[in-house]
Structure 1
Amino acid sequence: MRLVKTSSVEANTKLGKAIYNEQGRILINKGVALEGRMLKRLLELGITFIYIEDRQTEDLVIHDPISDPLKREALTTIATTFHKIYTEPLESKSFILEKSIKEYKAVIKHIMSELNEKPKLMSILSDVCVHDTYIFTHSLNVTLYSLAVGMELKLPSDKLEAIGLGALMHDIGKVSVPKEILMKPGKLNDEEYAVVKQHSTAGFELLRNTHTVPLLVSHCAFQHHERLDGSGYPRGLRGNDIHDYAKIVAVADVFDAVTSHRVYREAMLPHEGLEMLYAGSERHFHPKIVKAFQNSVAIYPVGITVSLNDGRKGVVVKQNKSLNDRPVVRIIETGGFPVEPYEINLAEELSLVVTECDTTYNGR
């Protein structure tokens, strides 16, 4: 199967990987021929990339970061807690959160267990999911990325649990943001953005007043928008004044934000999001954390079409864990002409590099 931009897909192309909603229900199953109205609807729902069936890559297997049952469990836990806190009066919010913490901790342990069993590079692009509320999927994605970074840094399990819990609840303060602002289908104006920025402090106050939440977890909500050079918010903290957990969550938060579709801009591909992190390394983000993030994420996801510096074009079929910018590529074109497919390992062909990604689909 091939990973392509939804907007480039022609009608009647067959879907290569099922598309789910947040409850884990299949919206469009694998093998379904995508009609024009279905493709239009996917774009309206913010599905920027999809996998389609392709004879040259029909043998490819796409591995999701976590299992479908665990994904449903996590999203249900996040959504249920957020909805309850949003609708209940202020004096009840901490009580609701206290009752939910046990479930949150169980989810984190399950995620850690599955990630330990799958020592592969993470690719959330492979998990094609239509979300009704971006914040729920975002919270889960940030948790997956944060835990992957923590594991890459060889942190002990107790610290990983704290980071996971902080990541899962880093945006809990957005329950204080009016829905008309949070769900606005477009870019926020300055006044609206000022309201959204208050979510860091609101989340910290809510979490620190919840007795079952460690204070360091609360600081993930408080500090995930702080930046090393003091340009972040809410307090403009610098360098070592920002907790290491929050520094990890900050990197995961930005990467997921820029690689997710928003109404006012299309999603970046993973290598583009990583370039953005490196551009802010040392100034905004800790270089060690950015490097650990790079080592944890599939920069070129399986199924994406890439061009090489010698003019050949191919599809990524496998990752190299220690050299994730040098995957195994199945060559399908040379000099613009189709060839009998064959594979090369960029980890062994050091003179070759990926020069660009091509997510358009020409039907070949």
Structure 2
Amino acid sequence: MRLVSVNRLQAGMKLGKKIYNDEGLVLLADGIELTDALIKRLARIDIGYIYIEDAITEDIVITGMLHDETRNQALKVIRSQFQDMSGASGITKGFYHLDKKFSKMMDSILEDMSSLEDPMIMLADMHTADNYLYVHSLNVCLYTLVLGIAHGYSKEELRVIGLGSLLHDIGKTQIPVKIIQKPGMLSDEEFRHMQAHTEIGYRILKDEPNIPLLAAHCALQHHERIDGSGYPRGLTGLQIHEYAKWLGIADSYDAMTSNRIYKKAMLPHQAVEALYVGSGTLYEQNQLELFRDRVAIYPLGLTVKLSTGESGVVVKIDPSIPHRPVVRVFAGPEGETVIPFERDLGRALSVVIVGVSDEDQSMVKVT
């Protein structure tokens, strides 16, 4: 499978990986042949990149961190619960069903992830942007758990940080939809409303039976930054709980790599570079370093250009050195077609990735 911008799709190409809606249901099945009408539909629903079947990369299998059944059930629960709360008249009502459904779901998520030999943050499954909140909540949970596993947290600690990350944006259920889905820049007043989701989330979660209090603090603190520039309280350094710091990185990363109403998604390496701008000011340097080592910055199927001048597709990622993947070269330095062969950047240490294919199929320089 090859990762291709929707802007470069052509009729006759075949979809290599399923596309889901916000309920976790399959919108388009893998193997379907794309028509001009389907391509236009993909563009309308804000899908940025998709996987297509490709002869050069037909042996690449893209797997997720969760089984399809677990992912679909998780999105169903998130959607159902969040929609129920969006219709509530206020935030003082007790939502005592949260602990039962979300806790059970967390057990299923942790069971799936425990079966992974060396979990990494991969490019998320393709979803429509019908309701970003549901998919974002699950993605951030998975990314935070990957970081927690790599950091060495116990199963119970992972359960707590998992619930905190899954429910970190629950306060947004009480923010007007017109603000949540506004396509342009928020006014100062609208931004203040949006910022309130952290404190609202805390108030919703703090008295929930069997929802750990630390999960409520994750909702409260995930937008705090170590230099005091975050919100709602402008906390600094050690005043911010460690869980919330991990969550802040995962939350920012998913926001950058997701298609939104008002912006196109970044590719993983671009998002990592953007996060590193805040190293030591917004985010803890040691946490960013672990994050960098656990994210596949060059996703499987991505077209890249090497320092040799050759072009190829990422076909394998070594979790110990994710920034130096195996690339299947299909074009020489002058752009000439060559018999495909694999160049392992983990062994060819003098060769580096210098560019990635952008939406116009030109190469964007990697700094």
- Determine whether 1:352 maps to 2:348: no
Q: Distance in 1 between matches of 2:106 and 2:268?
A: 24
Deviation at 1:187, TM superposition (A): 3.0
Deviation at 1:212, TM superposition (A): 2.5
Deviation at 1:297, TM superposition (A): 1.7
- Determine whether 1:263 maps to 2:261: yes
Secondary structure in structure 2 of the residue aligned to 1:344: strand
- Determine whether 1:291 maps to 2:310: no
- Segments of 4+ moved more than 4 angstroms: 359-362
Say what the alpha-carbon RMSD is for the aligned residues.
Answer: 1.6
Q: Distance in 1 between matches of 2:204 and 2:50?
A: 38
- Determine whether 1:37 maps to 2:37: yes
- Determine whether 1:171 maps to 2:169: yes
Secondary structure in structure 1 of the residue aligned to 2:4: strand
What letter matches 2:266 in structure 1? M
Deviation at 1:83, TM superposition (A): 1.3
Deviation at 1:281, TM superposition (A): 1.1
Q: Distance in 1 between matches of 2:40 and 2:183?
A: 17
Do the aligned residues in 1 keep the contact of 2:120 with 2:319 (CA within 8 Å)?
Answer: no
Partner of 1:317: 315
Secondary structure in structure 1 of the residue aligned to 2:134: helix
Q: Distance in 2 between matches of 1:267 and 1:192?
A: 23
Partner of 1:61: 61
Q: Percent identity?
A: 41
Structure 2: runs of 5 or more not aligned: 362-367
Deviation at 1:285, TM superposition (A): 0.6
Q: Distance in 2 between matches of 1:216 and 1:272?
A: 31
Deviation at 1:166, TM superposition (A): 0.2
Deviation at 1:25, TM superposition (A): 2.7
- Determine whether 1:107 maps to 2:111: no
Q: Distance in 1 between matches of 2:117 and 2:280?
A: 28
What letter matches 1:353 in structure 2? V
Q: Distance in 1 between matches of 2:222 and 2:38?
A: 37
Q: Distance in 2 between matches of 1:124 and 1:140?
A: 14
What letter matches 1:196 in structure 2? M
Do the aligned residues in 2 keep the contact of 1:22 with 1:72 (CA within 8 Å)?
Answer: no
Secondary structure in structure 2 of the residue aligned to 1:15: coil
Deviation at 1:106, TM superposition (A): 1.7
Do the aligned residues in 2 keep the contact of 1:152 with 1:295 (CA within 8 Å)?
Answer: no
What letter matches 1:348 in structure 2? R
Matches within 5 A, 1:234-253: 234-253=232-251
Structure 1: runs of 5 or more not aligned: none
What letter matches 2:106 in structure 1? I
Q: Distance in 1 between matches of 2:279 and 2:117?
A: 26
Q: Distance in 1 between matches of 2:106 and 2:209?
A: 19
Change (3 A) 1:176 1:91: closer
- Determine whether 1:85 maps to 2:70: no
Partner of 2:14: 14
Identify the match of residue 276 of structure 1 among 269, 274, 277: 274
Deviation at 1:131, TM superposition (A): 4.2
Do the aligned residues in 1 keep the contact of 2:327 with 2:344 (CA within 8 Å)?
Answer: yes
Do the aligned residues in 1 keep the contact of 2:19 with 2:126 (CA within 8 Å)?
Answer: yes
Q: Distance in 2 between matches of 1:277 and 1:108?
A: 27
Q: Distance in 2 between matches of 1:69 and 1:53?
A: 24
Deviation at 1:18, TM superposition (A): 2.0
Do the aligned residues in 2 keep the contact of 1:4 with 1:361 (CA within 8 Å)?
Answer: no
Normalising by structure 2, we get a TM-score of 0.94
Do the aligned residues in 1 keep the contact of 2:314 with 2:325 (CA within 8 Å)?
Answer: yes
Q: Distance in 1 between matches of 2:6 and 2:119?
A: 24
The C-alpha deviation readout for 1:207-246, integer Å capped at 9, x for no partner, is 1132332221111000000000000000000000000010
Do the aligned residues in 1 keep the contact of 2:129 with 2:259 (CA within 8 Å)?
Answer: no
Deviation at 1:328, TM superposition (A): 0.8
What letter matches 1:211 in structure 2? P
Secondary structure in structure 1 of the residue aligned to 2:11: coil
Change (3 A) 1:37 1:185: farther
The C-alpha deviation readout for 1:317-353, integer Å capped at 9, x for no partner, is 1101110000111011111111000111111111111
Q: Distance in 2 between matches of 1:24 and 1:124?
A: 18
Do the aligned residues in 2 keep the contact of 1:121 with 1:319 (CA within 8 Å)?
Answer: no
Partner of 2:218: 220
Q: Distance in 1 between matches of 2:210 and 2:32?
A: 47
Partner of 1:148: 146
Do the aligned residues in 1 keep the contact of 2:121 with 2:146 (CA within 8 Å)?
Answer: no
Secondary structure in structure 2 of the residue aligned to 1:194: helix
Secondary structure in structure 2 of the residue aligned to 1:3: strand
Change (3 A) 1:91 1:241: closer
* Number of matched pairs: 360
Secondary structure in structure 1 of the residue aligned to 2:123: helix
* Deviation larger for 209-218 or 41-50: 209-218
Change (3 A) 1:14 1:359: farther
Deviation at 1:291, TM superposition (A): 1.7
Normalising by structure 1, we get a TM-score of 0.95
